[in-house]
C-alpha cells in the first residue's frame, strides 16, 4: 500500500509534473492540434488592420467627415482592442492570431509607451494652469477658488461669459494682482502683465489673447486660446474646418512672436496627435508629453477620454505636468511647472 501511495502522490507528496501550471496544461492541449495555425485568420487580419490604422493614422484622409482627425483624437484608445483580440485568439486556440496580435501591441507601445512612464521632475520656477470653466458653470466662484488653490503663478481661463467675468475677478483678486480679459478668455498673474491684446484667430470675435508676463526669471510671452469646437454630425461626420482655420492662425501668431520664451495655455479642441494642430504643435512642446505621467486626459470631466486642453512651451523647459481635481466645468483644469531660467533642450 505504501508503494501505491507513492505512485499517487509522487516523491515528497508533490503532484506529478503533468499537473503543472494552467498555462502548461493549455499548451499541452494544443499539441497535436492540426488546426491551430488555420483557425483565427479573421482575427489575425483584424490585428493587422488595427496595427496599420495606428501606424498610418496620418494617411487617413480628412476629406470624408474629417475621419483622420477623429481617429487621431482618440488614437490611444485603439490600444483597448489589443487585449480583446488576444483573449479571442486564446478562445479560438489560434497560434497565428496570437502571434499577429503582437503587431498592434508593438505599434501602440511605440506611439504611447513613453506616456506610461513618470517623467515628472521637482524643479521649475513658474507654475501655470489653464481651465475651460464652461459658460454654463453653476458655481464660477467655487471654480475660481479651486484653480487658485493649485498654486499657479499664471492662470488662464477660457469660455468666460460677460456675466461671470466679475465673479471670477472678485474670487481671484486676492491671489492674483494682475489680470486681463479679452473677449471670452482671460489671464490672471501674480507677476506684472504688459502688452495684453487680442489675437485674431479668424473667428470674428475674440477667443485668444497674448500678454507678456514679467517673471523673476525673465519675460515670457503667454498665449491663451480657445479654438472652436469640433462636432460629430450624422450627415457630415467629424466637422472641424473652423477649428483647423483658427489653429493655423494661432500657429502663425506664435511663429511671429518676438520673445523667445513662449507658453500657450488653452482649450485647443484637439490632441497633440491631431494633424490639424500641426501649425502649433510643430513649433511647441507639450508639457504632458515632456514632463507628465500618464495621458493627462482632460475632457469630459465625468470620464476623461482625450486631452484637448493643452499647456505647450517654446524656449522653456517643462519640469512636471498634472491634471487638477474636477470643478463645476465639463473640463478638468490642467497645470504644469516649468523652468523659465533654463535653456530648453
Q: What is the pLDDT of residues 109-126, one digit of tens each?
A: 999 999 989 989 888 999
- Cell numbers at residue 253, please? 501668431
Answer yes or no: is 232 within a domain.
yes
> Which one of 90, 116, 142 terminates a domain?
116
> Which one of 82, 116, 150 terminates a domain?
116
Mean pLDDT computed over every residue of the chain: 89
Among the ranges given (11-25, 78-92, 283-297, 313-327), the one the predictor scored with the smallest mean pLDDT? 11-25
Do 59 and 130 reside in the same domain of the chain?
no
Answer yes or no: is 121 within a domain.
no
Closest CA to 147 of 166, 168, 126, 162: 168
Do 284 and 145 reside in the same domain of the chain?
yes
Torsion of CA 327, 329, 330, 332, to 10 degrees: -50
- Cell numbers at residue 311, please? 499647456
Do 94 and 193 reside in the same domain of the chain?
no
Answer yes or no: is 344 within a domain.
no
User: Distance between CA 129 and CA 345 in Å, rounded?
Assistant: 22
More confident of the two residues 1 and 312 = 312
Do 71 and 140 reside in the same domain of the chain?
no
CA dihedral sign of residues 176, 181, 187, 193: negative
Closest CA to 164 of 127, 191, 118, 131: 131
Do 147 and 216 reside in the same domain of the chain?
yes
Residues in the chain: 345
pLDDT for res 235: 45
User: Distance between CA 236 and CA 130 in Å, rounded?
Assistant: 31
User: Distance between CA 317 and CA 291 in Å, rounded?
Assistant: 9
* Residue 278 banded pLDDT, cuts 50, 70, 90: very high
By residue range, what is the domain housing residue 260? Answer: 126-339
* Cis preceding-peptide flag for 182 (omega within 30 of 0): no
pLDDT for res 25: 62
Do 50 and 134 reside in the same domain of the chain?
no
pLDDT for res 127: 98
SS3 breakdown of the chain: % helix, strand, coil, rounded to 5? 40, 25, 40
Answer yes or no: is 345 within a domain.
no
Answer yes or no: is 280 within a domain.
yes
Checking if the pLDDT of 192 tops 90, the result is yes
Among the ranges given (55-69, 213-227, 258-272, 310-324), the one the predictor scored with the smallest mean pLDDT? 55-69
pLDDT for res 35: 77
Count of the separate structural domains present in the chain: 2
Do 94 and 239 reside in the same domain of the chain?
no
* Residue 64 banded pLDDT, cuts 50, 70, 90: confident
What pTM value is reported for the model? 0.85
Answer yes or no: is 107 within a domain.
yes
Answer yes or no: is 269 within a domain.
yes
Residues 13-49: pLDDT tens digits?
455 454 456 666 656 666 666 678 888 999 999 999 9
Do 146 and 216 reside in the same domain of the chain?
yes
Residues whose CB falls within 8 Å of the CB of residue 13, separated by 6 or more in sequence, listed in order: none
User: Distance between CA 76 and CA 59 in Å, rounded?
Assistant: 17
Do 192 and 332 reside in the same domain of the chain?
yes
Do 275 and 149 reside in the same domain of the chain?
yes
CA distances from 141 to 35, 144, 163 (A): 66, 5, 12
Do 87 and 156 reside in the same domain of the chain?
no
> Which one of 116, 135, 169 terminates a domain?
116
Answer yes or no: is 22 within a domain.
yes
3-state secondary structure of 344: coil
Closest CA to 171 of 140, 150, 192, 193: 140
Residues whose CB falls within 8 Å of the CB of residue 9, separated by 6 or more in sequence, listed in order: 15
Checking if the pLDDT of 237 tops 80, the result is no
pLDDT for res 344: 47
User: Distance between CA 125 and CA 337 in Å, rounded?
Assistant: 7
pLDDT for res 5: 46
- Give yes or no for a contact between 138 and 328, defined as CB atoms under 8 angstroms apart: yes
In three-state form (DSSP H/G/I as H, E/B as E, the rest C), the secondary structure along 104-134 is: HHHHHHHHHHHHHCCCCCCCCCEEEEEEECC
Helix count and strand count (H, E) for the chain: 12, 14
Do 242 and 312 reside in the same domain of the chain?
yes
pLDDT for res 8: 46
Checking if the pLDDT of 330 tops 50, the result is yes
pLDDT for res 155: 98
Residue 160's CATH number: 3.60.10.10
Please report, rounded to a whole number, the percentage of residues in the chain having pLDDT higher than 70.
Answer: 86
Amino acid at each position: 500500500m505504501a508503494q501505491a501511495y507513492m505512485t499517487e502522490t509522487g516523491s515528497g507528496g508533490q503532484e506529478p509534473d503533468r499537473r503543472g501550471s494552467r498555462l502548461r496544461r493549455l499548451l499541452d492541449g494544443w499539441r497535436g492540434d492540426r488546426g491551430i495555425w488555420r483557425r483565427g485568420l479573421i482575427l489575425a487580419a483584424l490585428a493587422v488592420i488595427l496595427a496599420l490604422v495606428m501606424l498610418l493614422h496620418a494617411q487617413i484622409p480628412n476629406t470624408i467627415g474629417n475621419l483622420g482627425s477623429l481617429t487621431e483624437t482618440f488614437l490611444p484608445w485603439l490600444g483597448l482592442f489589443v487585449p480583446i483580440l488576444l483573449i479571442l485568439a486564446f478562445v479560438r486556440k489560434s497560434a497565428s492570431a496570437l502571434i499577429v496580435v503582437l503587431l498592434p501591441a508593438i505599434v501602440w507601445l511605440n506611439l504611447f509607451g513613453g506616456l506610461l512612464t513618470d517623467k515628472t521632475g521637482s524643479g521649475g520656477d513658474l507654475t501655470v494652469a489653464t481651465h475651460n470653466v464652461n459658460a454654463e458653470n453653476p458655481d464660477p466662484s467655487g471654480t475660481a477658488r479651486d484653480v487658485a488653490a493649485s498654486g499657479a503663478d499664471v492662470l488662464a481661463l477660457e469660455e468666460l461669459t460677460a456675466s461671470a467675468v466679475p465673479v471670477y475677478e472678485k474670487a481671484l483678486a486676492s491671489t492674483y494682482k494682475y489680470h486681463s480679459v479679452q473677449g471670452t478668455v482671460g489671464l490672471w498673474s501674480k507677476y506684472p502683465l504688459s502688452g495684453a491684446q487680442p489675437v485674431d484667430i479668424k473667428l470674428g470675435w475674440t477667443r485668444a489673447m497674448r500678454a507678456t508676463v514679467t517673471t523673476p526669471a525673465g519675460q515670457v510671452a503667454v498665449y491663451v486660446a480657445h479654438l472652436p469646437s469640433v462636432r460629430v454630425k450624422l450627415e457630415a461626420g467629424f466637422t472641424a474646418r473652423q477649428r483647423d482655420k483658427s489653429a493655423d492662425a494661432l500657429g502663425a501668431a506664435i511663429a511671429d512672436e518676438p520673445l523667445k520664451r513662449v507658453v500657450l495655455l488653452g482649450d485647443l479642441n484637439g490632441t497633440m496627435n491631431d494633424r490639424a494642430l500641426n501649425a502649433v504643435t510643430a513649433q511647441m512642446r507639450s508639457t504632458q508629453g515632456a514632463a507628465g505621467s500618464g495621458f493627462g486626459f482632460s475632457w469630459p470631466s465625468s470620464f476623461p477620454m482625450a486631452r484637448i486642453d493643452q499647456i505647450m512651451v517654446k524656449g522653456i523647459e517643462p519640469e512636471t505636468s498634472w491634471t487638477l481635481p474636477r470643478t463645476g466645468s465639463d473640463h478638468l483644469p490642467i497645470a504644469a511647472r516649468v523652468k523659465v531660467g533654463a535653456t530648453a533642450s
